[in-house]
Chain A
Amino acid sequence: MSARDRFDVIGKPRRRVDGRSKVTGQTRFADDIVLPRMVHARLLRSPHPHARILSIDASRAAAAPGVHLVLTGKDFPVTFGILPVSLDEYPLAPERVRYVGDPVAAVIAKDEQTATGALDLIRVDYEVLPTIATPEEALARPDVRIHDYNDHGNIHRNQAFEFGDVDAALKTSDHVFEDVFFFEGNTHLPIEQHAAVGAVDGEGKLTLWSSTQVPHYVHRQMARVLGVPDAHIRVIACPNGGGFGGKTDICNHEAVVLRAAQRLGRPVKICLNREEVFYLHRGRHPVLMKFRTGVNNDGTITGMHLSTLLDGGGYGSYGAASTFYTGALQTVTYEIPRYKFEGCRTFTNKPACGPKRGHGTPQPRFGQEIQLDKIAEKLGIDPAELRLKIVAKPNTLTANWMRIGTIGLAECIRQVVARSDWNGRHRKLPAGRGVGIACGAYMCGAGLPIYWNKMPHSGVQLLLDRSGQVTVFCGATEIGQGSDDVLAGIVAEVLGIDPYDVRCVTGDTGLTPIDLGSYSSRVTVMMGNAAIQAGERVRAQLAEAVAAELDSLPDRIVFAQGRAFVAGDPKKSVSFREAVVAAEVKFGTIGAVGSYSPPRPPARYKGGGVGPSPAYSYTACVVEVDVDAATGWIHVPKVWIAHDIGRALNPVLARGQVEGGVYMGLGEALMEEQAFRRLPPKLSEALVHKFPSMLEYKSPTSLDMPDVDTILVEDPDPNCPFGAKEVGQGPLLPVMPALANAVWDAVGVRIDELPITPEKILRALALKAEGKVPRVGPDSFPDVPYPAPMIVPPPWEGGDGNAVEPTPRDASRPKEPATP
């Protein structure tokens, strides 16, 4: 976007613009909002994983002292959903519940205590239905249908694509590797529990404050669910106390507090308790996967066939997209000339899965990078060397028609190899200690919006006035990642002022231009490009006015350090404030808008809309482990990680994102599990969360966190603002497989499933001692009824990005709605 390489703000480590507010406790999260006459809501949730609601008697609750209102499914006739293809949830279930925790009624009372007490007075009669606990059960029991809008049994999504004849490629390869991996589900665990406040304003219109990452999508769905015109609802995304994808779905409670506010004419607040957050979930899908990969003796990949099976939980959520994402990005890291992907998502009677940091891509990345380690071992090639050899090339198309622009992966690999003394450590550390390497790639924003439209993905508006004040409006949402800081920093750089002199108004559908939200690592690139455009438009107006005052030409006016100068004649200058005054005199009120839409994806086939991005970020990671063979305990002393960030806008925040990704990756690798168990028959057989508390759901503490050597590889990408790629999600991806590969180097066992617990290490070591295959992981991949693949020739086999023929099995299947 900018050829400049000298900046006043960009690239300089500095205090984030919202830093002071956060350290003084002044940041106003959703639960910190207190309004006059406010009352409080609590939800009654299903104790059954699958049941029909026969009747609800809420009369006693409604009559209880202090209770203002009771809502049930009858008050919400319309469904919602984040994706247009799966509008399958009700704010309160009217007739069927699909997981333990599915909300069925709401009590609104004078305080939380009263509301909670009144929940016990609601009587719900359920007819318990058979339950589906796993994808295997889902496939085996098509008669027990969790939903009826999907095509077949409990298969929610089922797709297959083939980009070139993979079987033929594998047949002529020197080696074919076949491996099965399992990635257990885990959850976001933001420290802030979801909260929301609904209110009716003086004009009778609705306002929702919510801890959401996607105010625009919430806005659309609230209008739908409540039957109120969009223009009469305003959604304000409060700063999120951690998101990680956990606040990107539409939530039952958001509709409940708005409906209640509408009925009562007064503000209604809800804050979920921690157990409820575990059941709301929308986190990492458990994924079983099989890789069949053809390789020649020199390490080059000839073709890859990836099959995935996702455990989706009780609702659609983002699942249709998640399914595609388990196969979309395998090709953007390494050269894979032919590629086949089959993905199937099943419904189960558990909380819905959705997007967590990396959305659908960490699971197959885990398998792919471990398999590469096995390939390197077999071929006698160093794992880092192997990766360097097969790294994808810049400015190319992949077999599945993703367009790669800049790619800094080779430099990332070289950096972690050098910094970790890889060559001095790998295969050379004493028994019990080892190092492993892995890589990853992630999108800098999804190429397509969630609902089909041709409008911009991000809009930014600037307002300046004679006081010299600059206010920037954007729908982007601050979830801790530094969204406001990126916005203020970019505007400040373009206008040559201090970021602290920019006021940010963000995440408010009543005030700000639309930005699609904080997901898919899209904010820096999309909001950033829109901000540059708005800033440059304003700057042009200022430059014209200043040029007239200083007797110069507009393109000779330079804005820096709070002044406007004539280039080459710095004595001729005015202050920024004087520049705005001159512009306001000349043009009237000063402001501008900017917007951004990503480039049109080259893929034309149906399903090719998931995976394209304006740019991809790349990461390489080396993890060292120290494994105690007596206890199986894994200690991680050090992690080296290099991230291809394009350019770090604020290096303090960029490093924080990388380290936060390493931290979360280590949690997923070693301990985090959103796992369920079936209660014994005499206790209802409910599928309950094994440990819905922060004490028992283990996450790393400060004592578990290793030293991290973070390397930011800066090679500006022309599609990105000042060259800056994403950094929020990519760095998590290689951590889990690098750790698994380090365990192999340390003790010679393969743990092909997550999390890698001491118990699994001991089991694998016992197998090794018995002379058996020293591996713990899934034994086989089930027979999944994938459809016949859509045939799309890769670019080098004469394709144009379209599918070439409808296949017979496709034709026989009922038509599926369009994919986001």
Chain B
Amino acid sequence: MSDTTDPKVEAQRNVHMVLRVNGEDAEVSFAPYKTLLEVLREDLDLTGTKHGCELGECGACAVLVDKEPVLSCLVLAVECEGAAIETVEGLASGATLHPLQAAFADLGGAQCGYCTPGILMTAKALLDAEPDPSRERIKEAISGNLCRCTGYLQICESIEAAAREMRGEDAAPPAGRSKA
């Protein structure tokens, strides 16, 4: 921020930038103090990403930034210029659900569905990095995402089922890096 301008005015003046969300370049103008969560929901109409606290406590707003799960309520959107942002809206391929989505819908991974987008994105980052995680690894990966409905067990089972599906049912060889 320049010291020759009134910082108060400067802080409120919209910034204009291109954000890369779900593989698409979105040109967007927003107040610089806005979080990524706010810009996604309010300026890009991507309301699939939820909020439960806006303080980094619940995990509902998790999205991927350069493949890493981040809490979008704790990241300023201006910091995300040039990064690859992924939200729940980008998870399916056209009409075909991502294996995680299908498993969550089939196996009780989603009850009210409110924490679901955040958990799906967190789980995607996990499975993209570790195709065959143990139950303990799954629990650890989603331990920052609170869910009040399920008791987490059907969520873990959904992630395991999706992992099997993504590996190709009986394929066993664990470890190693997976597809991007």
Contacts and interface: CB of A to CB of B under 8 A. Distances in A.
Contacts of A192: 50, 52, 112, 114
A32 interface: yes
Nearest to B12: A113
A389 interface: no
Interface string B101-126: 11011111111111111001000000
B139 to A, nearest CB: 4
Given A192-B114, A694-B58, A702-B142, A242 B47 contact: no
Interface stretch (B13-21, B77-85, B144-152, B166-174): B144-152
A198 interface: no
A23 B116 contact: yes
Contact of A24 (B101, B112, B147, B149): B101
B25 interface: no
B60 A23 contact: no
Nearest to B120: A23
B146 A701 contact: yes
Contacts of A663: 150-152
Interface in B40-76: 45, 47-55, 57-58, 60
Interface in A11-51: 14-16, 18-29, 31-32, 34
Nearest to B144: A701
Contacts of B138: 702
B163 interface: no
B115 A25 contact: no
Given A32-B47, A239-B112, A239-B113, A189 B91 contact: no
A28 B41 CA distance: 12
A652 B139 contact: no
A652 B157 CA distance: 12
A416 interface: no
Contacts of B45: 34
B52 to A, nearest CB: 4
Given A29-B114, A239-B112, A703-B143, A708 B151 contact: yes
Contacts of A193: 51-52
A273 interface: yes
Given A24-B97, A25-B47, A241 B150 contact: no
Contacts of A562: none
Contact of B54 (A20, A21, A242, A273): A273
Chain A interface size band reads 35 or more
A664 B147 CA distance: 10
B143 A701 contact: yes
Given A192-B112, A656-B151, 13 more contacts: A24-B48, A24-B92, A191-B60, A192-B50, A652-B107, A655-B154, A656-B108, A660-B148, A660-B150, A694-B146, A701-B146, A703-B139, A707-B153
A191 B115 contact: yes
A705 interface: yes
B153 A705 contact: yes
Where chain B touches its partner, the secondary structure class is loop
Nearest to B88: A25
Contacts of A655: 108, 154
Interface string B9-32: 000000000000000000000010
Given A241-B114, A242-B148, A660-B150, A24 B91 contact: yes
| Most chain B beta-carbon contacts within 10 A, residue among A14, A31, A663 | A663
B89 interface: yes
A481 B149 CA distance: 8
Interface in A692-723: 693-695, 699, 701-703, 705, 707-708
Given A16-B105, A191-B60, A703-B139, A693 B53 contact: yes
A820 interface: no
17 contacts: A16-B105, A22-B110, A23-B97, A25-B47, A25-B88, A29-B50, A241-B52, A274-B53, A479-B112, A480-B112, A652-B106, A694-B58, A702-B142, A702-B152, A702-B156, A703-B140, A705-B139
B152 A20 contact: no
Contact of B154 (A34, A190, A659, A703): A659
